[in-house]
Amino acid sequence: MSISTPLQARITAIGSYVPAHILSNADLQGMVDTNDEWIVQRTGIKERRIAAANEFTSHLCIAAVQNMLTRYPSSLDDVELIIVATHTPDLPSTPVACQIQAHFCIPETGAYDLNATCAGFTYALHTASGLVAAGVHSKVLVVGGDSMSKITDYTDRSTCILFGDGAGAVLVEREEERPAFLAHHLGSDGSGGKHVYRTGLSSNLNGIPLAGEGKLVQNGREVYKFAVTTVPQGIEKLLMKSGLPHTTIDWFIPHSANLRIIESISEKCGIAFEKALYSLEYYGNTSAASIPLSLDLGIKEGKVRSGDTLLLYGFGGGLTHSGLIVRWG
Ligand code: UT7
């Protein structure tokens, strides 16, 4: 496998948002047959944030962009493309990206949503960095946001303890002096789509009848197996493409689905668990938002510093997975 050439693009700003309402493990104990000890031991999750009844993915994403603008003053007037990674848009046929365009009155920009479920943010970063490095666009706004509470069945203890709502936003801009996107890796396995899905127009997948009626259904054990086998293999390929040894990774930022999955992947890849950044403890599994939320927490806590090498890896429904090695700042 040949070593990839770093892409002449860089993340120049980040922002994030989670709703105010907290759903704790104790709260869930009153809703389904579960308990704090089981949830913490099996997932690492203590709390999650839940959007208000009238708060949807567009609101979460707009708030994340607003937070980014407050912290990294930058004009959005010259944004040429908005990509929103989500699988929970407010309306099936209106891209959240267009709602962002309208809210910030961005004058001349393309706008679309990308659905790669929990791997959506890394897929969107892959696309944005490629387009910027190729010279097709000079400034792309990438947002990952999901309102998982709106598609969660709160009578199903195997899923309702996992998910939360949130959004994260970054700007990807042209950078010739210090190219920051060092390697990419993408993958998918559609035969595993039956293990985590939500029915829509059809309740049939590849000939298999599905249950759930519009709420998320998951075979946790199968998705767990997928994560702890496919992701380490993907990380190995990613590191080979970058030409970097795993010891040069300063921060490992996987999709925040389950702390045990993160521990297992870290161990298999020889990346010290202390280098993992995750957002699941207080936000749960926020799907496309989980990686930018984890990165932003790492920045706010003073862990992630300019020049650090980050390994981001998303995985989820589809099944999909996608990783990048990125230099921060
Ligand atoms: O973001 C998309 C990607 N998704 C993921 O990465 C999720 C991957 N999967 C997981 O994180 C884990 O499989 C879960 C956290 C979903 C489940 O953990 P597990 O250790 O795989 O549990 P399990 O499904 O094997 O269930 C073990 C036992 C079962 O009882 P029996 O059959 O052994 O008597 C379940 O009925 O735990 C029971 N159980 C619960 N008990 C208390 C399942 N959910 C709960 C619960 N509270 N909430």
Distance, in Å, from the CA atom of 103 to the CA atom of 81, rounded to the nearest integer, reads 15
> Which ligand 1 atom is at minimum distance from the Cα of 255?
1
Mapped onto helix, strand or coil, the DSSP state of residue 194 is helix
Please give the span between the terminal C-alpha atoms of the chain, in angstroms, as a whole number. Answer: 28
**Per-residue pLDDT tens digits for 60-100:** 999 999 999 999 988 999 999 999 999 999 999 999 999 99
SS3 content of the chain, % helix, strand, coil (to 5): 40, 25, 35
Task: Give residues (CB < 6 A) around ligand 1.
Answer: 34, 38, 42-43, 118, 157-158, 161, 196, 220-221, 223-224, 227, 257-258, 261, 285, 316
Ligand 1 atom 41, closest CA: 34
Quote the DSSP letter at residue 276: B
- Is the pTM above the cut of 0.95? yes
**Per-residue pLDDT tens digits for 233-253:** 999 999 999 999 999 999 999
Distance, in Å, from the CA atom of 66 to the CA atom of 52, rounded to the nearest integer, reads 19
Under a CB-based contact definition with an 8 Å cutoff, are residues 180 and 6 in contact?
Answer: yes
Confidence category of residue 310, pLDDT binned at 50, 70, 90: very high
> Which ligand 1 atom is at minimum distance from the Cα of 257?
6
Q: Which of 163, 224, 231, 287 to mutate to test the pocket of ligand 1 (most atoms within 8 A of CB)?
A: 224
DSSP-derived secondary structure for 20-72:
SEEEEHHHHHTTSS--HHHHHHHH---EEEE--TT--HHHHHHHHHHHHHHHS
Average pLDDT over residues 129-156: 98
Ligand 1 atom 46, closest CA: 34
Q: Which range, of 85-99, 199-213, 267-281, averages the lowest pLDDT? A: 199-213
Distance 123 CA to ligand 1 centre (A): 27
> Which ligand 1 atom is at minimum distance from the Cα of 159?
16
Distance, in Å, from the CA atom of 301 to the CA atom of 90, rounded to the nearest integer, reads 32
Going 196 to 90 to 164 to 154, the CA torsion angle's sign is negative
Catalytic (active site) residue 195? no
Distance 206 CA to ligand 1 centre (A): 25
At residue 1, does pLDDT exceed 90? no
Average pLDDT over residues 300-309: 97
Burial pattern 59-72, b for ≥16 Cβ within 10 A else e, equals bbbbbbbebbbeee
Continuous H helices in 144-249: 157-160, 220-242
Percent of the chain with pLDDT strictly greater than 90: 95
Q: Which of 32, 42, 293 to mutate to test the pocket of ligand 1 (most atoms within 8 A of CB)?
A: 42
> If you compute the radius of gyration of the chain from its CA atoms, what whole number of angstroms results?
19
Region of 302 on the Ramachandran plot (φ > 0 left; ψ -120 to 50 alpha; else beta) = left
Catalytic (active site) residue 285? yes
- Nearest to residue 239, comparing CAs of 270, 263, 214? 270
pLDDT score recorded for residue 3:
86
| Residue 176 exposed, middle or buried by CB count within 10 Å (0-12, 13-18, 19+) | exposed
In the numeric block, the tokens 């770093």 are attached to: 6
Ligand 1 atom 29, closest CA: 158
Mapped onto helix, strand or coil, the DSSP state of residue 100 is helix
pLDDT score recorded for residue 255:
98
Distance, in Å, from the CA atom of 271 to the CA atom of 310, rounded to the nearest integer, reads 12
Ligand 1 atom 21, closest CA: 221
Quote the DSSP letter at residue 90: S
Which domains does the chain possess? Answer: 9-174 (3.40.47.10), 181-327 (3.40.47.10)
In the numeric block, the tokens 């309208």 are attached to: 102
